[in-house]
Amino acid sequence: MKTAPVLIGLSALSFALVFVDLPAGTRGSMAAVSLASGVAALVMMACAALLGARWKVVESAFGGLDRVYETHKWLGVWALVFASVHLAFKAGMPGWETAAIIELPAPVTRLVRQLSYIALMLIVLLALNRKIPYRTWRWWHKLSGPLFLIVVLHWLSFKSPVALLSPAGVWLTIAAALGAAGAFYKLLLYPFVSNRAEYQVTGVVSGPSAVRLVLSPLGHGIEYRAGQFAFVSFSAPGLHEPHPFTIASAGTRDEPVQFVIRALGDYTQRLVREVSIGMTAEVHAPFGRFMRPAQATAEVWIAGGVGISPFLAWLDDPAARGLERITLFNFQTPGRAFPAAEELAPLAQQRGVDYVPILAGVETPAFQEKFAARVAEAGPSHLQVCFCGPAGLLEEVRKIMAAHGVPNANLSHELFDFR
């Protein structure tokens, strides 16, 4: 599932079902558009709450939790857009038979209406504001579930021509129930029923603004596959909030797991500065579907910054086959490369991978010439490109692929940013 079809499908179905409930002569009015926009906003909020629950069936449908969170973000944005239209125009007109599903005093109904819009606006602004410290952002974002219930109460107390058992009413009931279930699960049940294990930090290797951690399980660990990621919560003060990190190793559930973490935000800066051997951590995993192509004539792996992590796991995987057909391009900022090329080159050579460190952009001859050579050897349609790194570098890689005739369908990549 992709973000755009989900957004279009939810909005189109919401509008269509509302228009079915309205008198034919009023379906083109701004009142009808306002009412349908309100329904679409609630449905999108419900879907966002459902996606936020991290249910495996939802992750599988989207092809990875990174894709789930991308859709989750845009659902919130477009819910705010539709809610703004609903607020700006009156969702009623003469001739409509209207009634509230739950009767509330008029002042309470008006208050709930205003609070529902404020609640949605707060949810979206908090989700998109990168200047809020991660710890504060996460706890505020936890309120999205209770705030969603205010929006549901607005629907139930608002006088509208949408009856509870009408097509649009049934649609809203299903959406609200699923959204409330997702919010309830994530807020109250997830910490107790999710797949998690206790680990202890047994190795710390520091680099320039980065750190490589080795965590050993205290008891049974988590079963995962190379290339997946975990949410890690450390026991130290200020580091309790779970944060997503790509697993940089491969192995069995009872073996140590490794993470390469760069100081990019307030949370990771503190973690890189304060993490030490002996700290305990709770690991929730596995998530993500970033896997090697099952069958490929040739592969190119492209890493940017800390995006090297999944490729470290792939190199570390003893079950990996066909590595001699792979070229690994590692884009790093001069002076910030971590792990250093001196460490990665021998590891890649041991597994038969052609390792190419790049300390500049895609215009570097070492990248241009080597990439062109791999295309010529395999053929544009047979070269598989695996990418993990910043969005800007991803767009440059897409351009290079297009210039050499490599189909975009041959590109698999991890979405790099959760917030």
The structural domains of the chain, with segments of one domain joined by +, span 3-193, 196-287, 298-414
Q: Which CATH superfamily does the domain covering 196-287 fall into?
A: Translation factors (2.40.30.10)
pLDDT digits (tens, 9 = 90+) for 123-134: 777 666 666 776
Say whether pLDDT at 291 is over 60: yes
Averaged pLDDT for residues 259-264: 90
- pLDDT tier for residue 418 given thresholds of 50, 70 and 90: low
Please give the pLDDT value at position 94: 86
Confidence of residue 147 (pLDDT cuts 50, 70, 90): confident
Residue 58 has pLDDT above 60, yes or no: yes
Average pLDDT of every residue of the chain = 89
CATH class of 298-414: alpha beta
Is the pLDDT assigned to residue 4 strictly greater than 90?
yes
pLDDT in tens, 333-348: 888 888 887 888 998 9
Q: What is the pLDDT of residue 258?
A: 94
Q: Distance between CA 343 and CA 64 in Å, rounded?
A: 30
Identify the band that residue 353 occupies on the pLDDT scale cut at 50, 70 and 90.
Answer: very high
Q: pLDDT band for position 358 (50/70/90)?
A: very high
Position 167 scores a pLDDT of 94
pLDDT at 380: 94
